[in-house]
């Protein structure tokens, strides 16, 4: 039995369903479902002594199941001190990565107000990056309305519209896909980058992809032969990109662009999670977006014809040159390899029991 199989078996034995795991070297952050389908957040910590220490140091509703499984109910988190109080005050937990970050939302009028919760030491830098991104001309992104460094909370404006992800379940108007391409081009065409924006080149993207693959190996979420196949795909994709000329100048990148990050409001396109902006090859964003369209087909979320039509519309709106189009194919393959490793940890997000399709 592999380490990841043990996690799944233990979770199932306690009447829980593993939806997805976020890997770290010595633990897994777990997104689970309970018997009544309610969401449960937890950690699987390899060292039982460390699991005891974490559980004892975490205030709020903490539950131990066995020696290494720690459940953190209602926003309990020793590193995110404001989270449990926000949940107790009526906020809905949208995202919770234990001891790293969370997102909650409140109902206000006909819409929601979103608050990010991070470690207090990270608050000021995150605010700086979010504000810098929101100031990029032509980019529609959330803005900071208030923040509290001591509590690690950042309140953001809410962009209108539906995600492209939600629209993929039906017929996506051609104009929407075209406007998505234009919005991405607008970001990439920004004349100046916010202060502090770092370079994210091919080597950095390959390193990040291999780091995730290494975690899949460590936890045996992928079998050795599967990991070897992914490793070869990474090498092949990187070689394809490296064989091309470099872009004439680096572009301002989103770096994690996909269908859930794009909000469609008529012909207006907004972008979420813009605090990871970097400077690099514009093909990286395009390739990542197209790889996620491929993933949605695999997941059964959208039809192949729909994904193909959206892809064509995005490219029509973006109008990439020949070099960018060729590099996009390479980055698409590189992103697909990364998703293979990532979704090995997400059995609830793939059909067929969680093994990524080959």
Report how far apart, in Å, the C-alpha atoms of 243 and of each of 202, 280, 291, 326, 330 are: 12, 16, 21, 10, 10
C-alpha–C-alpha distance, residues 33 and 160, integer Å: 29
Digit-by-digit pLDDT tens for the chain (358 residues) are 899 999 999 999 999 999 999 999 999 999 999 999 999 999 999 999 999 999 999 999 999 999 999 999 999 999 999 999 999 999 999 999 999 999 999 988 888 999 999 999 999 999 998 998 898 888 899 999 999 999 999 999 999 999 999 999 999 999 999 999 999 999 999 988 888 899 999 999 999 999 999 999 999 999 999 999 999 999 999 999 999 999 999 999 999 999 999 999 998 999 999 888 999 999 999 999 999 999 999 999 999 999 999 999 999 999 999 999 999 999 999 999 999 999 999 998 876 443 333 3
Q: Which domains does the chain have, with CATH numbers?
A: 1-73 (3.30.200), 78-158 (3.30.200.20), 162-344 (3.90.1200.10)
pLDDT of residue 355: 36
Question: 121 exposed, middle or buried (CB, 10 Å; 0-12, 13-18, 19+)?
Answer: exposed
Look at the chain and count its residues.
358
User: What global pTM score does this model have?
Assistant: 0.94
C-alpha–C-alpha distance, residues 200 and 253, integer Å: 9
pLDDT of residue 70: 98
Closest-CA residue to 230 (of 203, 257, 206, 258): 206
pLDDT of residue 177: 98
């Amino acid at each position: 039995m592999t380490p990841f199989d043990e996690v799944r078996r233990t979770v199932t034995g306690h009447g829980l369903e593993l939806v997805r795991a976020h890997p770290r070297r010595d633990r897994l952050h777990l997104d689970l479902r309970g018997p009544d389908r309610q969401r449960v957040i937890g950690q699987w910590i390899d060292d039982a002594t460390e699991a005891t220490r974490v559980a004892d140091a975490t205030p709020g509703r903490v539950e131990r199941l066995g020696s290494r499984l720690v459940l953190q109910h209602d926003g309990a988190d020793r590193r995110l001190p404001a989270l449990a109080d926000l949940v107790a005050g009526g906020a809905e937990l949208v995202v919770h990565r234990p001891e790293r970050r969370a997102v909650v939302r409140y109902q206000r009028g006909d819409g929601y107000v979103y608050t990010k919760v991070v470690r207090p030491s990270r608050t000021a830098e995150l605010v700086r990056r979010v504000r810098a991104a929101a100031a990029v001309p032509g980019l529609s992104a959330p803005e900071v309305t208030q923040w509290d460094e001591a509590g690690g909370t950042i309140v953001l404006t809410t962009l209108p519209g539906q995600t492209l992800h939600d629209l993929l379940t039906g017929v996506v108007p051609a104009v929407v896909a075209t406007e998505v391409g234009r919005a991405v081009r607008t970001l990439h065409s920004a004349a100046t980058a916010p202060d502090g924006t770092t370079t994210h080149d091919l080597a950095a993207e390959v390193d990040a992809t291999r780091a995730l693959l290494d975690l899949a190996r460590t936890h045996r979420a992928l079998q050795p032969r599967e990991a070897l196949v992914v490793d070869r795909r990474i090498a092949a994709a990187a070689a394809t990109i490296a064989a091309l000329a470099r872009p004439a100048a680096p572009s301002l990148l989103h770096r994690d662009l996909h269908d859930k990050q794009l909000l469609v409001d008529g012909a207006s396109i907004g972008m979420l999670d813009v605090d990871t902006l970097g400077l690099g090859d514009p093909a990286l964003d395009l390739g990542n977006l197209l790889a996620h369209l491929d993933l949605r087909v695999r997941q059964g979320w959208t039809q192949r014809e729909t994904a193909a039509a959206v892809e064509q519309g995005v490219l029509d709106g973006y109008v990439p040159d020949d070099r960018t189009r060729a590099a996009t194919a390479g980055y698409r393959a590189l992103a697909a390899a990364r998703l293979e490793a990532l979704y090995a940890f997400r059995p609830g997000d793939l059909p067929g029991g969680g093994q990524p399709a080959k």
